[in-house]
Amino acid sequence: MANPQVILSLVVILINSSWLFLLPHLCHGHDQLEKCNFDKIYQLGDSYSDTGNLIRESPVGSSTPFTRLPYGETFFKNATGRCSDGLLMIDYLAIALGLPLLNPYKMTDADFRHGVNFAVAGSTALPVEFLTKKNISSPATNSSLSVQLDWMLTHFDSLCHEKRDCTKKLENSLFVVGEIGGNDYNYPLIEGKGIELAKSIMPNVIEAIKDAVRRVIDYGAVRVIVPGDFPIGCYPMFLTIFPTNDSTAYDQNRCLRQLNNLAMDHNNRLQEAIEELKKEFPDTVIVCTVITTTRTNGFSRTLPILDSMKWLYEKLVVESEVTTISILGGSAEHRRFRCVSDPNQYISFDGIHSTQHAYMLMSGWLIQDILPKLQCTV
């Protein structure tokens, strides 16, 4: 099996000093991405991408902490439903494409000329009915990936007179399917159901994402990005929920090996699924953005700051013990986590969601990673 530190590269890269001047890099990314002539983005996913659907879809969503400060404090100066102190990766991607920030589907009378965000915080790849049969609850929303796809179809029905018309209108659109699937694993873990239950549904999660990509291609998608899962073993929330005196349970970055292995397994299977889809749809560009292995010593450009990562996560675990804001409505065994006082100094904002600063850095990595794979020409 691949070294557990592989999955950490996305996290480790966040505090690499070479990214301190990322905004110029995003501008450069904008110049490169202009070759694709994207005029719309359609986003599916969960809390890492939701720009305001959860807080609008139900009383449960409107009562979450994401409706009030400190969420949104850094950029918007008020809460927008984003699970961060400011912008998300999808926001930075839109900026790089020269497009307005995506409005959430549930925003009444919103401008959808440049795309729609269908992502819902707390959503799962699998339908809630499937999860219920597995004794897994979905406390935040019933708007799973299939529901979001139905919303997308409804939107396209209003946009196009017929399928051929829709295909033409969407030829310059970018579709982003995910990140999705993380909550399918997070919920059984948080609910104390054990990691084996999370592992058992992984083939179903991968198939649900694979089917979603098929459906967006059927709608007319020409270019699709499918992000992988994050290194959940490094989340301060899980580090706090699952403390252990067994030193072998942690890797060299003080992250939980077993949880990071779960995320890596998901990403490896997702990559395999995407390769199968590429053969099935040779005329569609499908980019799977997950972590890949390198030399056993890790990533040369990030290796020098591994000691800093250890210090950072030790501080985050301490921060997470302060009580001010609950995660997932308090479902994490009623444990509570404080939003960090200076988001620009941290990767994690509330124990499970990232800061705007972290999303900015990840977006730079994403844009540079996908540029050569989108196959755009002048």
Look at residues 62, 29, 198 and name the one whose alpha carbon lies nearest to residue 141.
Answer: 62
Cβ-contact 103, 90 below 8 angstroms: no
Question: Which residue is catalytic, options 9, 46, 47, 146?
Answer: 47
Active-site residue, 146 included: no
Token pair in block for residue 59: 């009383």
Cβ-contact 66, 79 below 8 angstroms: yes
Question: Which residue is catalytic, options 350, 354, 357, 363?
Answer: 350
- Phi, psi angle pair for 44, to nearest 5°: -120, 150
Residue pointed to by tokens 């829709």: 166
Dihedral, CA of residue 194, residue 197, residue 203 and residue 206, to nearest 10? -50
Cβ-contact 239, 317 below 8 angstroms: yes
> In angstroms, rounded to a whole number, what is the distance separating the alpha carbons of residues 175 and 217?
9
Reduce the DSSP state of residue 104 to 3 states and report it. Answer: strand
> In angstroms, rounded to a whole number, what is the distance separating the alpha carbons of residues 279 and 118?
27
Write down the H helix ranges in the chain: 9-12, 22-33, 54-57, 59-62, 89-96, 128-133, 145-159, 163-169, 182-190, 195-200, 202-219, 236-241, 257-280, 306-319, 356-370
> In angstroms, rounded to a whole number, what is the distance separating the alpha carbons of residues 181 and 160?
30
- Distances in Å between the alpha carbon of 354 and those of 107, 115, 319? 24, 24, 14
Question: Which residue is catalytic, options 353, 354, 357, 363?
Answer: 353
> In angstroms, rounded to a whole number, what is the distance separating the alpha carbons of residues 106 and 275?
33
Active-site residue, 47 included: yes
Catalytic residues: 47, 350, 353
